[in-house]
Amino acid sequence: MIETLKKEEVFDRVKNLQAKLIKKGIDGALLVQKADVYYFSGTDQNAHLWISRQDSPLLMVHKDFGRAVEDSLVEKVVPLKSLSLLPVSIKKHSAKMPCSIGIEMDVLPTSLYMIYNRLFPGAEFVDISPLIRSVRMIKSDFEISLISRAAMVADQMMEQVPGLLKEVKTETELAIELEAFYRRKGHAGFIRTRQFNMECGYGHVMAGKNAACPSSSPGPTGGKGLGPFYSQGASTDPISPGVPVLVDYTSNICGYISDQTRIFSIGRPEEKFIYAHQVMLEIQEVISSQGRTGTSTGKLYEMAIEIAKKKGLADGFMGYPEPVPFVAHGIGLELDELPVIGHNSSITLDQGMVVALEPKYVFPGKGVVGIENTFVVTATGMKKLNHFPESIYIV
């Protein structure tokens, strides 16, 4: 069932952004990135969304205008046949030309930025990506309900793994079956990310040494992949007995994502894997219990690092040979949202933030263990949305 976004929800989002524009003295925001346009308008059609600091939003649509009119929850929707007409449309809507324009400098192509400069001579362009991400960082009840549904479907997907491991032979074969299950449950088949050059389908399915294979993936694990053209995730290698099989897959329901990792093994793995996995569970417990409203994300990260050191697992915690400087990331319409629980992170947790907490440990050339669950921040700690058993599942 597709949940319907309400006009009141979009109105509140726009008001939150407008308040930040006013505080920064910016005349308006010109948004073009799909996730942002959808978040503030209700449609992902190819369009520019103008949100001034005081007027109602204006959606200027390149393609498809008809679908945008049908889907959009902002009242003013007009066709935009050429980028050259942007200034005309904005001036007609707001009755004057803006002097300062906020744009998404973290994702905007340089070529488009140069076009904006030509179209709005004399205007000051300001990076408002931090403002946008701060608005999106706090999830509404509607958003949390969709992320919770995604987490439930992720649990159902994990339930398929033990039986499949008795039938499939390779990492890719396991990935195919799990992805087919997801598509039947309504997964869109891809995951939106914000970071430049970050590519993600469903996630990673990797076994043994392949899971410990370094890659360009921004996460703690990467995988062998299918070749140098996509050097992460599942390979065509067979899944051997007695090694950790890592299933790190995202679920996507109505555009909202949950992230989950579980470890499986055909037969009992070595004790070092079991020990390290238990430590990762301990780190998850400490961080999730302490991760309440008002807590510093940087402080939580240091807690995780300290536990890993005390347990003799400093080298290999969150990646090897180059560990990633975080233990959790925000999640929502995109996989890499705020807040990040990481090194030098200064964000203070607040109610309604949603994070994927993923303490993991890499044994170089051997395998990976660890856990990942999606949590909602509350006043008393983090509420876990995934419920599939967390110990290494021995098939």
Nearest to 262 by CA among 167, 370, 366: 370
What's the pLDDT at 2? 67
> For the residues 326-336, what does the mean pLDDT come to?
98
- Those residues whose C-beta lies under 8 Å from the C-beta of residue 225, and which sit 6 or more positions away, are 215, 231, 232, 233, 234, 235
Task: Give all strands (DSSP E) within 285-358, no chain letters.
Answer: 326-330, 337-342, 354-357
Furthest-apart CA atoms within the chain: distance in Å: 70
- Those residues whose C-beta lies under 8 Å from the C-beta of residue 271, and which sit 6 or more positions away, are none
Average pLDDT over the chain, rounded to an integer: 97
41-50 per-position pLDDT tens digit: 999 999 999 9
Predicted confidence (pLDDT) at residue 285 exceeds the cutoff of 90: yes
CATH superfamily of 138-394: Creatinase/methionine aminopeptidase superfamily (3.90.230.10)
> For the residues 261-286, what does the mean pLDDT come to?
98
Which position has the higher pLDDT, 199 or 149? 149
Give, in degrees to the nearest 5, the angle at Cα 373 between 342 and 185. Answer: 130
Nearest to 364 by CA among 310, 306, 313: 313
Domain ranges for the chain: 7-136, 138-394
- 110-119 and 86-94 helices cross at what angle (nearest 10)? 60
368 close to 262: Cβ distance less than 8 angstroms: no
51-66 per-position pLDDT tens digit: 999 999 999 999 999 9
What's the pLDDT at 1? 61
> For the residues 325-349, what does the mean pLDDT come to?
97
Of the pLDDT bands very low, low, confident and very high (cuts 50, 70, 90), residue 200 is confident
% of the chain residues with pLDDT over 90: 96
Nearest to 392 by CA among 224, 240, 276: 276
Class of domain 7-136: alpha beta
Nearest to 322 by CA among 210, 255, 185, 222: 222
Separation CA 173–CA 178 (nearest Å): 9
163 close to 364: Cβ distance less than 8 angstroms: no
Nearest to 307 by CA among 329, 288, 330: 288
Q: Residue written as tokens 């440990």?
A: 361
What's the pLDDT at 3? 73
Of the pLDDT bands very low, low, confident and very high (cuts 50, 70, 90), residue 240 is very high
What's the pLDDT at 4? 82
330: phi then psi, degrees, rounded to nearest 5? -65, 160
7-30 per-position pLDDT tens digit: 999 999 999 999 999 999 999 999
> For the residues 334-363, what does the mean pLDDT come to?
97
Separation CA 55–CA 37 (nearest Å): 17
- 171-184 and 141-158 helices cross at what angle (nearest 10)? 140
305 close to 317: Cβ distance less than 8 angstroms: yes
> For the residues 336-364, what does the mean pLDDT come to?
97
SS3 (DSSP) at 294: coil
305-318 per-position pLDDT tens digit: 999 999 999 999 99
> For the residues 261-287, what does the mean pLDDT come to?
98
Predicted confidence (pLDDT) at residue 355 exceeds the cutoff of 70: yes
* 240: DSSP letter: P
161: phi then psi, degrees, rounded to nearest 5? -65, -50
> For the residues 103-126, what does the mean pLDDT come to?
97
Look up residue 115 and give its amino acid: I
